[in-house]
Amino acid sequence: MTNKLNIYEKLFFYLFTSTTRTNKSIPKWSTTIFLATVTALYLLAFGIFSPFDMKILGRNGFMLFMGTSIAIHWLYFLKDNRILKKFERTKPRTQMIGKILTGLYTFGGFATLFYSLGIDWIYTLFLGMLFGVLEFSAKWLGTDPIKFE
């Protein structure tokens, strides 16, 4: 059967297969919270670049924003195990280009937020190296990801 996942579902799939290597207890939730956080980072960076004053949100507004992001991702991916059923039905396979694009999307979220906050590029490069170390440790120290075949 052909792979009929949209781009966001593929992103979830690659993050999920990486998460299942190191987190056997709740990989669905870990992936959902991580993807919601990265998406929120992009939206926060966009908000910082826009003329909207982000300070008026305050701590409660920020927590509401993050909670809403996680809730939307939960409804889209995890309600009734929708995404896992779709994975079992379509049997997607991991490819190196997908892993690279997923890493770039994740790194880009943090880098964009760092840039918009005026944080020096050395910290962004350090973050990139940290992602490389995490990927290496998940690949070589983790176990095989869940197979949907």
pTM over 0.75: no
Tell me: the pLDDT tens digits for 100-144?
Answer: 777 778 777 777 777 777 777 777 677 777 766 766 665 655 555
Tell me: the pLDDT tens digits for 39-90?
Answer: 888 887 777 777 877 778 788 888 888 889 889 888 888 888 888 888 888 8
Beta strands in 44-101 (DSSP E): none
CA-based max dimension of the chain: 50
40, 66 in Cβ contact below 8 A? yes
State how far the alpha carbon of 23 is from the alpha carbons of 57, 116, 138, in Å: 33, 32, 10
The residue count of the chain comes to 149
Question: Which pLDDT does position 39 carry in this prediction?
Answer: 85
